[in-house]
Amino acid sequence: GQQLNQSPQSMFIQEGEDVSMNCTSSSIFNTWLWYKQDPGEGPVLLIALYKAGELTSNGRLTAQFGITRKDSFLNISASIPSDVGIYFCAGRSGSRLTFGEGTQLTVNP
Amino acid sequence: GAVVSQHPSWVICKSGTSVKIECRSLDFQATTMFWYRQFPKQSLMLMATSNEGSKATYEQGVEKDKFLINHASLTLSTLTVTSAHPEDSSFYICSARKAGGAGELFFGEGSRLTVL
């Protein structure tokens, strides 16, 4: 089946630092999505990417859909304590959504 | 817009009983809903795809007689864990795709099931 490799698994950063995480796959996806999940909550959609090469921003977040359609990255600039959580990438092919393993982000004040 | 609500948010039950979890799209119609299971510190695992008015499609390894899914309307899907056992304890999350939308999935808040 399709697999997404998400890295890093965890990050510990200081408030104000920039963060970058990425996902790669051996399969092509039509859509890349980035979600954030807080403990005990469902994932919340951050950014959706629909075209290869697309670069989209949402406030301090920027994500790109790789040209090969097999990868995507998410950048968070000037991190703040409330950025803490688990970030998941997800690739969509047809009706199926495949999730990465998640990146646990810890921001120290 | 695009709010998905799950109920209950947490439930504790005795082994052998059945538990029903509801997933509602509050402000949009969802022709397709998905049910996921998530273990601690792990990613979401798709259990089944639920289409309104038809039988759910289950992922390999998911017992359809144990996890009954009903998608009776465009705004409601239910997951019933039948004869629950402690190993069924998990975080269950639903998501809904907006009918006519660009394909984004909106997730519910999740339901924490603990089977004693």
From the CA of B93, how many Å to the nearest CA of chain A?
7
Cβ distance of A31 and B112 shorter than 8 Å: no
A32-43 in b/e form (b: 16+ CB < 10 A) is: bbbbbbeeebbb
Cβ distance of B110 and A48 shorter than 8 Å: no
From the CA of B60, how many Å to the nearest CA of chain A?
11
Please choose, from the candidates B4, B113, B43, the residue with its C-alpha nearest in 3D space to the C-alpha of residue A87: B43
**B62 and A CB contact within 8 Å:** no
Kindly list the averaged pLDDT for each block of 10 residues, start to end, along chain B of length 116. 90 96 92 92 91 89 94 92 96 88 82 96
* Cα dist from A37 to A1, A2, A42, B68, whole Å: 24, 22, 6, 26
Cβ distance of A101 and B42 shorter than 8 Å: yes
pLDDT by residue (tens digit) across A24-42? Answer: 999 999 999 999 999 889 9
Cβ distance of A42 and B104 shorter than 8 Å: no
Q: What percent of chain A has a predicted confidence (pLDDT) above 70?
A: 98
Taking the CA atoms of chain A, what radius of gyration do you get in angstroms?
13
Structure tokens at B8: 């209950």
What's the pLDDT score for residue B60?
92
Alpha carbon distance B65, B82 (integer Å): 8
For residue B107, the chain A residues in CB contact (below 8 A) are 35, 42-45
Contact between residue B86 and residue B115 where contact means Cβ atoms under 8 Å apart: yes
pLDDT by residue (tens digit) across A59-101? Answer: 999 999 999 999 999 999 999 999 999 999 999 888 778 899 9
